[in-house]
Amino acid sequence: MSEAANARLQVDLQALAGNYATLSGATGASVAGVVKADAYGTGAEAVVPALAAAGCDVFFAGFLNGARQVRLLAPAATVFVLNPVIRTDATELLANGLIPCLYDPAEAVAFAETCEAAGQRPRIALHVDTGMHRLGMSATELAALRQHRLWPGFDIALLMSHLACADEPGHPLNERQLREFESLRRDFPGVPASLANSGGVFLGSRYHFDLVRPGIALYGHDPHYDGGRDRVTPVAELTVRIGQVAWISAGDSIGYGATVTVERETCVATLLAGYADGIPRALGDAALEPPPECWCAGRRVPVRGRISMDLTTLDVTACVPPPAPFSDRAEVFGRHIRLEEHARRLNTIPYELLTQVGNRVARAYRQ
Ligand SMILES: *Cc1c(COP(=O)(O)O)cnc(C)c1O
């Protein structure tokens, strides 16, 4: 079914394993795999076992459901839940041996009470805020929690924090968060510590501590990528089958809103996937000059006309011979057109484009 699929996300598991090895080689710390949002859209079902086979034995899922899936796919692994909600998740976390990254002191107490009632010791990660101000306990909240009667029973598997600006090596907040984390860590001798995401790994060993938590770099995007040498290998390629190829005349327009009028005879290829499949509608914005490009019949071709829910139109006039409907495919991103290129044009990040690839898109895996 995947070969015949109109839209296909091809995921190279060998490149994924290679990226895991590259990150392992860049640090003396343990390397976890962050697999939230279905492994950044690439499909946890194949990606988790591939990472486990590459030596990864610690995973971070976003929410309970993703963590349960990881538990089934990698039964021996340590599985953390980044954004748990203890009031609804506590029993399931315990039953599946999942470790919540607790960011709220009241939730930490609630989890300890559930564990106490179940006759278990609460195994937890503590997420502390060192300056991102998105998620995590403040130093004051942490100090108060340490006074709680249940505190001595906590089995702290990890002390963690998250960097706000790890993708900007020169940003002063990195150093400030590092110092704050080092200071908080002094109260937790012997507890494993973790600060770095992908960007943090490439900030250098001072940021690594005991465990690093890369996500996007595993999937092939280096957050410090500047168009130069690649430290990681792209993993995902989105290709779409062409449904129609047609010549239109000078003065004709393409697509909804007739936003594009062609000045000469033009060959239009229509791809059988659209914004419902995760091809950003913004790629067809007529105000983008020059228009964003896809790869078709061995060359770059511009997106022309608005992207619709199921369909995308390309100007393939330059393709000689023109692509063949049904048998030819166009690459939206992948080896020829990098995810980073679209992200830059659309003022977003590769993370968003990758995780938005829709669930109609078949995932196919290269071993
Ligand atoms: C998403 C996330 C990561 C991974 O970030 P990347 O930039 O994809 O490497 C690590 N830690 C936390 C807390 C996260 O939310």
Q: Is residue 1 scored above 60 in pLDDT?
A: no
Question: Which residue is closest in CA terms to ligand 1's atom 15?
Answer: 82
- Kindly state the tokens that stand for 230: 């690649």
Q: Which atom of ligand 1 is nearest to the CA of 135?
A: 13
Q: Which atom of ligand 1 is nearest to the CA of 167?
A: 7
pLDDT category of residue 366 using cuts at 50, 70 and 90: very high
Going from the Cα of 34 to the center of ligand 1, the distance in angstroms, rounded, reads 7
The residue type at 48: V
Q: Kindly state the percentage of the chain with pLDDT values over 70.
A: 99
Average pLDDT score over the chain: 97
Catalytic residue set? 36, 256
Going from the Cα of 213 to the center of ligand 1, the distance in angstroms, rounded, reads 6
Going from the Cα of 61 to the center of ligand 1, the distance in angstroms, rounded, reads 10
Output phi, psi for 177, to 5 deg: -65, -35
pLDDT number for residue 228: 85
pLDDT number for residue 229: 86
Output phi, psi for 167, to 5 deg: -80, -5
Residue 279 C-beta-side C-alpha neighbours within 13 Å: 34
pTM above 0.75, yes or no: yes
Q: Distance (Å, rounded) from C-alpha 293 to C-alpha 342?
A: 8
Question: Which residue is closest in CA terms to ligand 1's atom 12?
Answer: 162
The string of pLDDT tens digits covering residues 103-158 is 999 999 999 999 999 999 999 999 999 999 999 999 999 999 999 999 999 999 99
User: Average pLDDT, stretch 280-296?
Assistant: 98
User: Average pLDDT, stretch 41-66?
Assistant: 98
Give me the helices (H) in the chain, please.
Answer: 13-25, 36-40, 44-53, 64-73, 86-95, 105-117, 139-145, 172-185, 198-201, 339-345, 350-355
Q: Is residue 2 scored above 80 in pLDDT?
A: no
Mutate to test the pocket of ligand 1, among 16, 35, 82 (most ligand atoms within 8 A of CB): 82
Pocket of ligand 1 from Cβ distances under 6 Å: 34, 36, 82, 162, 197-199, 213-217
Mutate to test the pocket of ligand 1, among 27, 56, 162, 163 (most ligand atoms within 8 A of CB): 162
Q: Which atom of ligand 1 is nearest to the CA of 214?
A: 9
% helix / strand / coil in the chain, to the nearest 5?
30, 25, 45
Q: Which of 345, 360, 254 is nearest to 309 (CA)?
A: 360
Going from the Cα of 123 to the center of ligand 1, the distance in angstroms, rounded, reads 21
Q: 232: which DSSP letter?
A: S
pLDDT category of residue 4 using cuts at 50, 70 and 90: low
Q: Which atom of ligand 1 is nearest to the CA of 200?
A: 9
pLDDT number for residue 227: 86
User: Average pLDDT, stretch 203-227?
Assistant: 97
Going from the Cα of 264 to the center of ligand 1, the distance in angstroms, rounded, reads 48
Q: Is residue 167 scored above 70 in pLDDT?
A: yes
User: Average pLDDT, stretch 230-242?
Assistant: 97
pLDDT category of residue 48 using cuts at 50, 70 and 90: very high
Question: Which residue is closest in CA terms to ligand 1's atom 3?
Answer: 197
